[in-house]
Amino acid sequence: MINICPLFSGSSGNSTYIEVNGTGILLDAGVSMKRIITALQRIGKSGSDLSALLITHEHIDHIQSLGAIARKFKIPVYATVNTWRTMYKSLGKIEKSQIKPVYEGQTETIGDLRFVAFSIPHDAAEPVGYTFSDGEKKLTVATDIGEMNDKVFLSLSGSDGILLEANHDIDMLLGGAYPYPLKKRIRGKYGHLSNDEAAATCARLVTLGTKTILLGHLSAENNSPEAALKTVSGSISDTGAQIGKDVYLDVILREQERELQTI
């Protein structure tokens, strides 16, 4: 079985704990090491429970404490080649043995945990999402997505559970205080996924068997948990599926105390 606990989510920092049969990994380290360790302790885990650190891309809200965690716990760090090239000099000393390149579509195995990276459209060097499997169940994490293209949807398809970006409400973004260039970036092909786009994606996935949906990376300025839930739940309900019975749907806040959730 696969367990997941999003620890932090949003532009202020991202980090998620994922575990399969006692093998735990951290996906991104976008806040301080102290905050991550404290969050792990809340779910009965510690840094010594980490077998690896996986990175989606090099933006600071995903790698803030990467170097510190790698040095303290001496764990391997997985990231794409161009992500490594872009972020390496900013991390401090990391042993060569800890540097693990990942390649799109290639299966990696740590204990009973298998994972595969897939390309996502975002304004970073070589950003990826990840699918995780224990051999039976499939969990997919895809945030920081400019658009839902066929390649990303194919990676999401067949997932028992997903953590998907629902970054902004389009009307809130367009009517908000952000300058036009920033609004254009967020709405662009390499920006972030809107509630409407997330909703359409979730509805399609539910018809393919997805049972657990977590919405993450919500904007504090251009979205609200209520808006994201309303939009996504509406589209899911239109498929005939019942929220709470056929599908578990929840929003991941920027920081909250959550329990490990089994997919």
Q: Give pLDDT tens digits for 134-153.
A: 999 999 999 999 999 999 99
> With contact defined as beta carbons under 8 Å apart, do 214 and 27 qualify?
no
Amino acid making up residue 109: T
Looking at the domain that runs over 1-104, which CATH code has it been given?
Answer: 3.60.15.10
Q: Dump pLDDT digits (tens) for 70-90.
A: 999 999 999 999 999 999 999
Calculate what percentage of the chain has a pLDDT beyond 70. 100
Q: Has residue 257 got a pLDDT over 90? A: no
CA torsion 207-25-112-249 (nearest 10°) is: -20
pLDDT at 255: 79
Residue with tokens 């224990």: 134
Parse the chain into domains and list their residue ranges: 1-104, 145-253
CATH class entry, domain 145-253: alpha beta
Residues 6+ apart with CB under 8 A from 109: none
Same fold, 1-104 and 145-253: yes
